[in-house]
């Protein structure tokens, strides 16, 4: 990463396309209401078939949420492998419930989500590598109900490559971000830090960069034209 002098601004912050998979299709998620998710047929791609979808958008970096696996159904591992082969780097949240499950798919960067990964915060110490996804609803970390800033402080002592702040309740809403909370979270964790959920457009991407975040996970804002598709293709602001 690169910083401007006298600023925490991250130059060439990583821009990552979010892809929610369920039933073999790309879904449009909103507000974490997974029962209400529908195939993403209105965006930039003419198809919700994952490999066609990815070929149209041509992202450099991708974040896949295997919603079937996260919700305890059969993982879509073969489909994930095919999709991951189309991009330079793929982050994968498959709702792992143990360290063994987190490494079940080769060729991806595993995401360990607080929503499913451990019964107690202390159990996260069993994981080695990957990214910790701090899953948030209503401003609190699932399932323990603590503040995201407090979870980030605790994550500093764990063996993850980085963390993701994933505001599940804001996914697909384009509700925008608040500078104060971003700056507080960034100050609590010295490692690599990504953000997803509610990113409304270019201004929010600049806000994240200015707060010192290393990456933004986005989808709806790209499909609605609030973020140029070329940014996703380059993997950073053009």
Buried b vs exposed e over 75-96: b needs ≥16 C-beta within 10 Å?
Answer: bbbebbeebbebbebbbbbbbb
Tell me the residue ranges of DSSP E strands in the chain. 2-3, 10-11, 14-22, 25-28, 38-39, 61-66, 89-93, 109-113, 131-137, 140-141, 162-167, 192-196, 215-218
Q: Output the pLDDT for position 1.
A: 42
What is the residue whose two structure tokens read 């973020």?
Answer: 227
What is the residue whose two structure tokens read 């800033």?
Answer: 149
Percent of the chain with pLDDT over 90: 84
pLDDT above 80 (res 214):
yes
d(CA 46, CA 52): 8
Spell out the domains of the chain, with CATH numbers in brackets.
9-234 (3.20.20.70)
d(CA 200, CA 175): 6
Q: Output the pLDDT for position 172.
A: 72
Residue 153 three-state SS: helix
Condensed to tens digits (0 to 9), the pLDDT of residues 188-206 reads 999 999 999 999 999 999 9
Q: Output the pLDDT for position 175.
A: 78
Condensed to tens digits (0 to 9), the pLDDT of residues 18-49 reads 999 999 999 987 766 777 788 999 889 999 99
Look up the pTM and report it.
0.92
How many Cβ atoms sit within 10 Å of the Cβ of residue 44?
14
Report yes or no: 166 and 136 within 8 Å, Cβ to Cβ. yes
First to last CA, the chain: 16
d(CA 165, CA 155): 12
Report yes or no: 95 and 69 within 8 Å, Cβ to Cβ. yes
pLDDT bracket for residue 67 (50, 70, 90): very high
pLDDT above 60 (res 142):
yes
pLDDT above 60 (res 89):
yes
pLDDT bracket for residue 3 (50, 70, 90): very low
pLDDT above 70 (res 7):
no
Condensed to tens digits (0 to 9), the pLDDT of residues 96-108 reads 999 999 999 999 9
The mean pLDDT value of the chain amounts to: 92
């Amino acid at each position: 990463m690169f910083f401007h002098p006298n600023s925490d601004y991250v130059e060439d912050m990583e821009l990552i396309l979010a892809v929610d998979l369920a039933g073999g299709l790309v879904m449009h998620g909103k507000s974490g209401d997974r029962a209400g998710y529908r195939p993403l047929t209105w965006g930039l791609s003419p198809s919700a078939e994952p490999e066609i979808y990815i070929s149209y958008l041509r992202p450099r970096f991708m974040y896949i949420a295997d919603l079937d696996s996260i919700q305890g159904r059969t993982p879509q591992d073969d489909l994930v492998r095919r999709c991951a082969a189309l991009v330079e780097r793929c982050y994968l949240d498959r709702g792992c419930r143990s360290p063994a499950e987190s490494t079940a798919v080769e060729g991806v960067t595993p995401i360990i989500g607080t929503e499913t990964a451990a019964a107690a915060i202390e159990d996260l110490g069993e994981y080695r590598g990957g990214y910790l996804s701090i899953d948030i609803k209503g401003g609190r970390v699932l399932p323990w109900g603590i503040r995201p800033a407090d979870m980030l402080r605790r994550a500093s002592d764990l063996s993850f490559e980085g963390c993701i702040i994933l505001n599940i309740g804001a996914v697909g809403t384009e509700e925008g971000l608040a500078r104060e909370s971003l700056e507080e979270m960034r100050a609590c964790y010295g490692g690599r830090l990504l953000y997803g959920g509610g990113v409304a457009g270019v201004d929010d991407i600049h806000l994240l960069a200015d707060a010192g975040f290393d990456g933004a996970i986005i989808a709806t804002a790209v499909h609605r034209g609030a973020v140029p598709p070329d940014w996703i293709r380059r993997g950073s602001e053009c």
